[in-house]
Structure 1
Amino acid sequence: MNVAERLPKFADAFPFDSFNRMQASAYPAIMERDENVVVSAPTASGKTALAELAICKTLADGGTALFLAPLRALTNEKESEWERFEEMGYSVYVVTGERDLSPRRAERADILVMTPEKADSATRKHDSARYGFIRDVDCCVIDEVHLLDSDRRGAVLEVTISRLRRLCGPRIVALSATMPNVDDVARWLDAPPECTFEFDDAYRPVPLEASVKTYSRGDNPFADKYRRLYRALDLAEPHIGDGGQALVFVASRQDTVRAAEKARDELAKRDVPMGARGDYDFHTEAQELQNQTLRKSVLDGVGFHHAGLAKGDKDRVEEWFKRGDVQLLFSTSTLAWGVNLPARCVVIRDTKLHDPLEGEVDMSPLDVLQMLGRAGRPGYDDAGYAYVVCQYSDKQRYEQLLSEGKEIESRLAGELDAHLNAEISLGTIRDLEDVMDWLETTFYYVRAQSAPDGYDFGGRLRERVRETLSRLVESGFVETGTDLGVEGTALGRLASRYYLRLDTAERFADLAARESVDEGAVLECVAGAAEFDSVSCRSAERDAVNSILSGSDSLDDDGHRKVLAILRASMTGSTPGELQSDAWVIRQNALRLLAALREFLDTFDAPVAANLARRTEARVEHGVSAGAVGLTAIDGVGAGRAQRLADEGMVTPADVVAAGQEGLVDAGMSEGVAETLLRNARDLPVVEVEWGEFPSSVGRGQNDMRELRVRSTAGGARANVAVTVNGVEMADTTAYLGETTVPAAVFGGSADEMTFEVTVAFPDLPVSPVSESRTVRVE
């Protein structure tokens, strides 16, 4: 089927001239009908072209297409690939958490590219001006819809699609690797039989020979890695020696580097002919790599690839592998989920991996099948060879996975309470009937019909949902009216907004109910959150944890204590080497929780407590002292500059403004940096309290009403202004500074002196509260 003949207007959107057999079979359903479509097809069979067909039809009809990519890295890849659409006059816009969103560009885009998590966020905020564009989606293409079965991300994809369908009713085109129960997905998405396709391995461009190989396990996990590596090299060597290439998947970024280094030495010992050291042009290209280890390794024909490499290095490694200059490539699972980089031989060396939040876990069956599917280079190989290397006790399980595949299950059951709370908080569920209507839009409901023994709890599915709703009401997340209506409470809305587990939300609310909150309580509250329940503390880490905490904590669980130790060490930028491997992931999750806790404290306690949480959050993020943390509010100031300024006596943005450009230069800043920092500091508030003609004395029994003016002489921010008299609160207001006034009643009571204190706290800034006081004698 010739592309130009069928799609003359969009021929330039495709990097080939003819559709293959699989693509031609699905073409009529996608291009000549309007119903939802579900396609299950082997890896490397050309599913991306089906996504592009659906996009072309949407554009031809004047609509907006949304492409959901399983990984953030793939959103960037699509942006690059789909410059073809840009050249044809259509706008492609990527929306991810790592980029600043331009609502105007998103609204005008013809093709939106997002991850399920970002689409979830956008649909939750669909009634805001910032995310209103999500309501205008006409077609949603789900890449790798079998992600529904992912423990951590499946439920997010499921509820997001259900919400999107209720929101704007787009056409859904769902693409998947081979899955046995494609009909369940089709029934969930209301795709008719004519638009449901299950292409088997006969449609695979290169036949796949997959098998499971075992290794002799020892007592030392570190040594076992090398046993598996040698086993992987044994399997890959014949294919490399025959002019093919091998792709070996390992558990972590660090493992890709170590395995590549060891493999170079081992293959040299085995005298396997590899590498391009005599190729002057390739040697010159290799010198441009940023990663020095990679630069040495590729010259011997061995490379590694992971998400932490610079984009330029990754692009070059992919190009050299496609070109054949790199014959053996070690990678993490990310490479299997989208980069079109097949090899004659694929070996999965590691079936278990260490997750910072979960401890040692088995690799997802989805990941295993996705990786194995990379075996076989179309146009180069007659067959692809794929191997899983595992211990003998796991052999039967993996053989069953290879022979029968993996049915796609719903993961909503484990998170039903949190997602039901989210829908109620969003207002998409307003009464009990809505709850049942919502349930029927989920994949969970469809699978419960297909596999009642595993899902329906003996015919009690609806009853289970009612019980979940009752628990939400009892716990204060949801409230019911006399008309049987339901709506989210402030607690429920905050839990939904920050994607919290509900027991974590309760934990945060309990902290906000305390009489006083200090930094230690904030850190322990976050470290003990349910999101960290699966964190494990390895024996080699315990001494480092105990050294940091010194018994000054009240947490019982070793995993939670490890989280707390990482947070405390992060505040001073001194995380021990034993804790480094998990620290980044734990810290990023903790920062999200600290931001949530700040709003809980702002809502249920006081802005001063919220400000404390904000300063704690900034210390964890930047690794800066308590005295200098306020400086991190200035754009462009991190830990290093904050400490240099603090050493010169500047500890707040107000101090920086007072010092001026000359003072910053004297503190060691260049003139350009000083100018920028001063400009940014002036965007932040500098507090001034105007007491007016405030009396120094008052007669006993007399009253004198005064009004205090509090203003910022620089930038503005939301602020809480509180007035206390001898420690007793007299006035409290939250306003935008700017400027505000607060009353102060000067009265002659029984005390001989009254101390009036004005405290200004900024809940959203890591700047310490500003206080001023006046003492009035009672005569």
Structure 2
Amino acid sequence: MSRRADSEPTVAVAEVLPEFADAFPFERFNEMQSAALPALLNHDDNVVVSAPTASGKTALAEIAICRTLDAGGTALFLAPLRALTNEKESEWERFEELGYSVYVVTGERDLNPRRAERADILVMTPEKADSATRKHDSRRYQFITDVDCCVIDEVHLLDSDRRGAVLEVTVSRLRRLCSPRVVALSATMSNIDDVADWLDAGEATTFAFGDEYRPVPLNADVKTYTHGENAFADKYRRLYRALDLAEPHIREEGQALVFVSSRQDTVQAAKKARDELTERDVPMGARGDYDFHNDAADLSNDTLRQSVLDGVGFHHAGLAREDKNRVEQWFKEGKVQLLFSTSTLAWGVNLPARCVVIRDTKLHDPLEGEVDMSPLDILQMLGRAGRPGYDDRGYAWVVCDRGDADKYRKLLRDGKEIESRLAAELDAHLNAEIALGTIRDVDDVMDWLGTTFYYARAQSAPDEYAAGSALRERVSDTLSELVADGFVEQDGLAVEPTRLGQLASKFYLRLSTARRFADLAERCEAQAGGDEDPVDAEDLLRAVAGATEFDSVSARSDEEDAVHAVLGSTAEDLSAGQRKVLAILRSGMTGTTPSELKSDAWVIRQNALRLLAALRAFLDALAPGRFANLACRVEARVENGISEDAVGLTAIDGVGQGRARSLAAEGLRSPADVVEAGVDGVAAAGVASGVAEQVVANARKLPVVSVDWGTFPDSIAAGDRAMREVTVSNEGGDARATLRVTVNGREMTTKPSYLGEATLPVAVFGADTDELRFTVEVVFPDLPLAPITDSRTVSVR
């Protein structure tokens, strides 16, 4: 329902939340917040609020959290970006001062289950909450089932191609696990009723606050430029257009925020803008401010240090946190008048400007190629225009090619309906629910679907979504495909996951990739008895490079020669983009990535490492152990850029790429070499003595294997047969191992073990050959240590 600003009184914080008055940085709630107060404080119902950017939605989250804390409950805040989880941790020290604990759970931090369990406020991204709810029955993540209130910040993230489905299924799963109250907050969206229907929020607790609630009215428009044939020159055409728009406001002591597509572009645009504004004689900068000059000297980024003194700054996720904090503060204070940023700054960071210009509407995604910037990001960025208390009006522009102008004018005029993105990933998410055991029969499938935003949207837009019997048919077909492809077993109406389905769910794989990995594992299993291992490192790299997750990677013309230099004429069955991935992985194993490939290499390598870890698990579960060990070594080489003969060094805690290379250069190529060299030998490789002691101590914790052949004979008569026992011992740290005995390259026996000590029965027989070569092989599926082998030769007389 729509709310009118001129009919709502404001409410004092101390009047309604006296125990939490110190948790708010103001004394009175504004009109929008006051209008929503009764729904948040006087009801247990779910709440959905849509309101303009910068209108004060964060306080609504805090009101809901206060009510939960007052009742002795636990609140979960879902932030759209990992960077914002850290920001909330800092902001909500106010709650810590009142005696409540705030704990951030992200993938970049080691989880402390005790702290998470005791936390009053949990802060997570949708992706981390997805992981936690999938593992809710483990001791580490059982805290997620104790959530009493879930606040979804920026719920319009549901419409994100890459992340929307994750948010949707995570919230649906959480509601089934522990039925928390849900408070969903969003920028202005035209179909708020669909979100309210999904979350079962009634009319009294659903709010659509219009533009009259913007603290500063917004003037948004589209400006075009003439597109040329040179993409590099086009960037500067758009930059000059952006400066033309920003210059009048800067001259009037206003500020401008210009959004560009990449971290590197923020730096390059800031450099060029400094020169251009100097040439235009625009009065900017604070070089005469002695204190500011001293503060700027503390910046760790050299380019930024020079730039801010001229009133121009840049901001992106790769800057040191202290540098980002300083730039944000100086922009708020007006010392930085022009700021270039990536879209990250638009989500959650309260940094408005009188003038906002979106210079780039397209961006290069290492996994997708050139893509249009999300309409959600566009609206979020434009919403930053207008400084409350300083400006009477905010000004925002989208700079785009003439051919795209109508598209963006329509977006500014009509907004963006929020769509479900679940349909594109329905098979993977349905498989995940079956793997988790939340779906046990066919009836459960439709019950689960009924909890999704996809279902709610299908009811309101049946022409655009499958609905009714068509929807049931689509879900039924998806289930049948899961059964046919080996992810699910069905017996009558009952369904249960296969090992393949569980692995695909655990590692968040697209199902075609999971099938690809399973086929490789089956190939390993089928050919394990051959004279040579049928699968090598190149096969693993090809399996990953050909994964569906990399289907949209593209190779630019300047990259094709670099790819050919690495691969030659091999792997021509892969697409150009997949060959690029393979080239990045293969060259990365030796730390020799061509410069033309480096801009995309980090993102591609991080995604490949996730897929390699998944492939290792597939091989561990579905193939002999030596193939999982091979995957472990390949994974370590891709991550560390270390040679094959020295990759075992990375098994030592505290030894990464740099130390592994230093040790290998001194001839120390295995943990055993490190132990033998001792502290002095490691220190001689350039490792500080204190660190060298720890490295040697950690190396001693790794397995040290010996093989005792006992009474194994040197010869045997033709036709005779004798049974012997071979003992494999480990004098170092325990580790999971696979033991294998071959004779003349043919496998006789294999045995999993947790070394320790293990005894292997070996049959010695006088075969129709002159010589029998018995080999004991020990491999560690979880460690990047080379296989350990020991052999004995028996002559047949």
Judge same fold: TM > 0.5, yes or no.
Answer: yes
1:500 maps to: 509
Q: Is the partner of 2:421 in helix, strand or coil?
A: coil
After the TM superposition, which residues 379-458 of structure 1 pair with which residues of structure 2 at under 5 Å, given as runs? 379-456=389-466
Residue 204 (structure 1) aligned with residue 222 (structure 2):
no
- From 136, 146, 149, the counterpart of 1:139: 149
Residue 377 of structure 2: aligned partner: 367
What is the distance in 2 between the residues matched to 1:568 and 1:766? 17
Distance 1:475 1:416 in 2: 15
Question: In the alignment, what sits opposite 2:3?
Answer: none
**1:708-762 alpha-carbon deviations (Å, 9 max, x no partner):** 2222211121111111222222221112122222222233333333222110111
> Aligned residue for 1:564?
582
Task: Give the % identical residues.
Answer: 72
Amino acid across the alignment from 1:263: A
Alpha-carbon distance in structure 2 between the residues aligned to 1:83 and 1:706: 68
Alignment counterpart, residue 164 of structure 1, candidates 158, 161, 174: 174
Report which stretch shifted further, 545-554 or 293-302.
545-554
User: Which residue identity does 1:512 align to in structure 2?
Assistant: A
Q: Which amino acid aligns with 1:146?
A: H
Tell me the residue number matched to 2:688.
Answer: 670
The whole-number CA distance in structure 2 between the counterparts of 1:654 and 1:319 is 52
Could you tell me whether the CA contact under 8 Å between 1:452 and 1:459 is conserved in 2? no
| Equivalence for 1:62 | 72
**Are the structure 2 counterparts of residues 770 and 324 from structure 1 closer, same or farther at C-alpha, using a change threshold of 3 Å?**
same
Q: How many angstroms does 1:458 deviate by?
A: 8.3
| CA deviation string 1:345-371 (max 9, x = no partner) | 000000011110111101000000000
Instruction: Return the match for 1:283 from 289, 293, 298.
Output: 293
Pick one of 764, 779, 789 that aligns with 1:746: 764
**What amino acid is the match of 1:177?**
A
Instruction: Note the C-alpha offset of 1:685.
Output: 1.2
Determine the C-alpha separation between the residues in 1 that align with 2:516 and 2:659. 36
**Alignment match, 1:255:** 265
SS at 1:735's partner residue? strand
Please say if 1:640 is aligned against 2:650. Answer: no
The 5 A counterparts of 1:16-55 are 16-55=26-65
Question: Amino acid of the residue matched to residue 30 of structure 2?
Answer: N
Paired residues of 2:459 and 2:467 also in contact (CA < 8 A): no
User: Any conservation in 2 of the 1:42–1:199 contact (CA below 8 Å)?
Assistant: yes
What residue number does 1:119 align with? 129
SS at 1:775 equivalent: strand
Deviation at 1:335, TM superposition (A): 0.1
Q: Structure 2 CA distance, aligned partners of 1:727 and 1:570? A: 32
SS in 1 for 2:29: coil
Conservation of the 8 A alpha-carbon contact between 1:753 and 1:778: yes
Q: Quick check: 1:145–1:176 contact (8 Å CA) kept in 2?
A: yes
Q: Alpha-carbon deviation of 1:444?
A: 0.3
CA contact (8 A) 1:355 1:361 kept: yes
Q: Give 1:625-664 correspondences, 5 Å limit.
A: 625-664=643-682
Residues 195-236 of structure 1, C-alpha deviations (whole Å, 9 max, x = no match) = 100000111111111111111111111111101001000100
Distance 1:315 1:40 in 2: 29
- Contact 2:546 2:574 survives alignment (8 Å): no
For residues 563 and 728 of structure 2, the distance between their equivalents in structure 1, rounded to whole angstroms, comes to 45
- TM-score normalised by length of structure 2: 0.96
AA aligned opposite 2:165: A
Q: Please tell me whether the aligned partners of residues 39 and 47 of structure 2 are also in contact (alpha carbons under 8 angstroms).
A: yes
Q: Distance in 1 between matches of 2:129 and 2:211?
A: 32
Answering whether residue 106 of structure 2 is matched by residue 88 of structure 1, we say no
Tell me how far apart the structure 1 counterparts of residues 106 and 494 of structure 2 sit (CA, whole Å).
35
Q: Distance in 2 between matches of 1:683 and 1:12?
A: 51
Of the three residues 541, 545, 552, the one matched with 1:534 is 552
State the secondary structure of the residue aligned to 1:479. strand
- Asked if 1:723 corresponds to 2:741, the answer is yes
Query: For the residues of structure 1 that align with 2:684 and 2:722, how far apart are their CA atoms?
Result: 47
CA RMSD of aligned residues (A): 1.2
Look up the match of 1:243: 253
Cα deviation, residue 54, structure 1: 0.9
Report what 1:608 is aligned to.
626
Task: Give the CA deviation at 1:699.
Answer: 4.1
Decide whether the 8 Å contact of 1:528 with 1:555 is kept in 2: no
Equivalence for 2:284:
274
Is structure 2 residue 310 aligned with structure 1 residue 300?
A: yes
Alignment partners' CA distance in 1, 2:617 and 2:155: 35
CA contact (8 A) 2:743 2:772 kept: yes
How far residue 507 of structure 1 moved from its aligned partner, in angstroms, is: 1.0
Alignment partners' CA distance in 2, 1:51 and 1:690: 66
Q: Secondary structure at the match of 1:42?
A: coil
Distance 2:382 2:566 in 1: 43
Match of 1:472 in 2: 482
Check conservation: 1:524, 1:555, Cα contact below 8 A.
Answer: no
SS at match of 1:718: strand
Mapped contact 1:653–1:686 kept (Cα < 8 A): no
Answer with 655-664 or 680-689: which moved more: 655-664
**Amino acid aligned to 1:517:** V
**Counterpart of 1:628 in 2: which secondary structure?**
helix
Q: Pairwise mapping of residues 2-21 of structure 1 onto structure 2 (< 5 A)?
A: 2-21=12-31
Question: May I ask how many residue pairs the two structures share in their alignment?
Answer: 778
Instruction: For residue 509 of structure 1, report the CA deviation from its aligned partner.
Output: 1.2
Deviation for aligned residue 1:581: 1.0
The alpha-carbon deviation at position 459 of structure 1 amounts to 4.8
Q: Deviations over 1:560-593 (max 9, x none)?
A: 1111111111111111111111111100000000
Q: Is contact 2:734–2:754 with CA below 8 Å preserved after alignment? A: yes
After superposing on structure 2, the runs of 4+ consecutive aligned residues of structure 1 that deviate more than 4 Å are: none
The worse-fitting range, judged by mean Cα deviation, of 724-733 and 162-171 is 724-733
Q: Give the letter for the 1:259 counterpart.
A: A
Specify which of 702, 713, 719 is matched with residue 731 of structure 2. 713
User: In the TM superposition, what whole-angstrom CA distance separates every residue of 1:484-535 from its partner, at most 9, and x where no partner exists?
Assistant: 2111111111111111111111111111122321111111111011000111
Number of the residue aligned with 1:511? 520
What secondary structure does 1:134 align onto? Answer: helix
What is the match of residue 197 of structure 2?
187
What is the rounded CA distance, in whole Å, between the counterparts of 2:329 and 2:658 in structure 1? 38
Supply the AA of the counterpart residue of 2:289: D
